[in-house]
Amino acid sequence: MDTATTGDLDIPADIAASLVDPVAYADDRIHDAYRWLRANNPLGIARPEKFDPFWVVTKHAHIQAISRQNDLFHNADRPTTLTNQALEERVRKITGGPNLVRSLVQMDAPDHPKYRALTQGWFMPANLGKFEGRVREIARATVQRMLDRGGACDFVEDVALGYPLHVIMEILGVPEADEPRMLKLTQELFGPQDPDTARVRDALSAEQVAVMLQAIIADFSAYFRKITENRRQNPRDDLATVIANAKIGGDYMPEHDQTSYYMIVATAGHDTTSSSTAGAIWALANDPAEFARVKANPELIPGLVDEAIRWMTPVKHFMRSATADTELGGRKIAKGDWLMLCYASGNRDEEVFEEPYRFRSDRKPNRHVAFGYGAHLCLGQYLAKLEMRILFEELLPHLKSLSLDGEVKMTQAYFVNGPKKLPIRFEVN
């Protein structure tokens, strides 16, 4: 992108700064920024200090248009998540490319469809149905633990964090004893900016972040190498067996691709599902009438689930880059330009959603883009929705009342975020 100033294309410096400020994502400032952008400059350029300039895509229609043109807008050519110049330079030195891992998210055709096809069937409703009974058992045990807390708990700590982690680890085939390690690694990987989860607690240099991320990836790699060896010798009915034995063009996947595959399955699903689950309880605790409505009409639960995913939109962005000069929304986008797809903004787009800031379990249709769109559309969307639906089916009948019991705190991160503390009070029927 030509970094010379281009007048009205540029978004104001304070808004550009908030897009790259993890703290802005922990309060409403990010939604204020998105609202201003949608109204005043829905496809503008941000030039925050220390970052390459990038287009900020805040309208639902533009997010979909970019996401569906996978040849014109690539994932793998530039960092797939917002990365400052110093960190990108470090990563390029380490890997020779813009990203530290090469999972589905960091691939384009022709590799992407081949790698995605290896597990796609596993994540389809027809296959997931066989896990429903087990997921319900895990949900019941989780609900029982919450009820045993006797009327008050931190919903994130006591329910939302552990439940989806446990489900995906069972499906993947990771033993229960290793779950805390997986949770810690995920939080460090996704929320390295949050002082509560980062390995290094002070302001981090690019050098430190790169070293930290490499260490996390090395931990994952060492862990899953053993799992691969085991599943090649003793195949089981789990997803690790599928990944360990999958072949591309007649050979096993290269080890780096394989680690990346395990990592995305082990990490992409639980923080995001936890945040959405906590989002639903937060919304219901804030609105007794909505709580009463869903409780009285359990057929609203699938709508509650979709609305919680829209309302929370835990994945705040993914990046794309243009492979050729093109035009969108009256703007000329040049080959190589970097674009930030702001899903949480698309999901509050006034042109698509009536009363976008209101939480409505009966919202229909609910065409949110929290799972992305196009060829990279979230592989785990049916699993996430199944887990959440089952948890609420098991939990809501037990609750007579629900309210907040202190301040809700959000993680400080501009990639994946959601509540990290959600104190609630509840009465049991």
66/210 with CB nearer ligand HEM? 66
Residues from 169 through 228 that contact ligand HEM (CB under 6 A): none
Tallying the residues shown for the chain, one arrives at 429
Counting contacts by CB under 6 A, is residue 370 touching ligand HEM?
Answer: yes
Identified binder of ligand HEM from the candidate list 58, 67, 186, 366, rule CB under 6 A: 67
Report cis status (omega within 30 of 0) of the bond before 314. Answer: no
> What are 139's strand-pairing partners?
none
CA max distance for the chain: 64
Which part of the chain contacts ligand HEM (CB under 6 A), choosing from 50-58, 192-200, 330-338, 372-380? 372-380
Identified binder of ligand HEM from the candidate list 376, 386, 392, 396, rule CB under 6 A: 376
Phi, psi of 151 (to 5 degrees): 100, -10
68/364 with CB nearer ligand HEM? 68
70/193 with CB nearer ligand HEM? 70
Counting contacts by CB under 6 A, is residue 371 touching ligand HEM?
Answer: yes
Counting contacts by CB under 6 A, is residue 15 touching ligand HEM?
Answer: no
Q: How far is the CB of 82 from ligand HEM (least distance, A)?
A: 14
Counting contacts by CB under 6 A, is residue 273 touching ligand HEM?
Answer: yes
Identified binder of ligand HEM from the candidate list 64, 272, 321, 412, rule CB under 6 A: 272
**CB atoms inside a 10 Å sphere around CB 398:** 14
Q: How far is the CB of 182 from ligand HEM (least distance, A)?
A: 12
197/272 with CB nearer ligand HEM? 272
Counting contacts by CB under 6 A, is residue 162 touching ligand HEM?
Answer: no
Structure token pair of residue 21: 């400020």
**CA–CA distance, 191 with 412 (Å, rounded to integer):** 7
214-220: long-range contacts (C-beta < 8 A, 24 or more apart)?
Answer: 214/94, 214/100, 216/185, 216/188, 216/189, 217/100, 217/101, 217/259, 217/263, 219/181, 219/185, 220/185, 220/259, 220/262, 220/263, 220/266
Q: Helix, strand, or coil here: 141?
A: helix
Which part of the chain contacts ligand HEM (CB under 6 A), choosing from 47-55, 204-212, 291-299, 377-385? 377-385
Counting contacts by CB under 6 A, is residue 339 touching ligand HEM?
Answer: no
Q: How far is the CB of 317 from ligand HEM (least distance, A)?
A: 9
Identified binder of ligand HEM from the candidate list 264, 278, 301, 342, rule CB under 6 A: 264
Counting contacts by CB under 6 A, is residue 380 touching ligand HEM?
Answer: yes
Identified binder of ligand HEM from the candidate list 143, 160, 268, 410, rule CB under 6 A: 268
Distance in angstroms between the alpha carbons of the first and the last residue of the chain? 60
Counting contacts by CB under 6 A, is residue 379 touching ligand HEM?
Answer: yes
Q: Helix, strand, or coil here: 48?
A: coil
Residue with the two structure tokens 């900016």:
193
Task: Return the amino acid letter for 159.
Answer: V
Total residues in contact with ligand HEM, by rule CB under 6 A: 29
Phi, psi of 100 (to 5 degrees): -75, -30
Counting contacts by CB under 6 A, is residue 373 touching ligand HEM?
Answer: yes
Chain-centroid distance, C-alpha 373: 13
Structure token pair of residue 348: 């509050």
44/269 with CB nearer ligand HEM? 269
**CB atoms inside a 10 Å sphere around CB 165:** 24
Which part of the chain contacts ligand HEM (CB under 6 A), choosing from 177-185, 261-269, 322-330, 395-403? 261-269
Counting contacts by CB under 6 A, is residue 377 touching ligand HEM?
Answer: yes
Binding mask 295-314 for ligand HEM (x = CB under 6 A): --------------x----x
**CA–CA distance, 362 with 25 (Å, rounded to integer):** 27
* Beta carbons of 173 and 239 less than 8 angstroms apart: yes
**CA–CA distance, 138 with 166 (Å, rounded to integer):** 8
Q: How far is the CB of 418 from ligand HEM (least distance, A)?
A: 9
Counting contacts by CB under 6 A, is residue 25 touching ligand HEM?
Answer: no
Structure token pair of residue 228: 């691969």
Residues from 91 through 120 that contact ligand HEM (CB under 6 A): 104-105, 116
Nearest to 272 by CA among 116, 128, 378: 378
**CA–CA distance, 196 with 198 (Å, rounded to integer):** 6
Q: How far is the CB of 110 from ligand HEM (least distance, A)?
A: 14
Which residues form the interface with ligand HEM (CB under 6 A)?
67, 104-105, 116, 168, 264-265, 268-269, 272-273, 276, 309, 314-315, 318, 343, 370-374, 376-380, 383-384
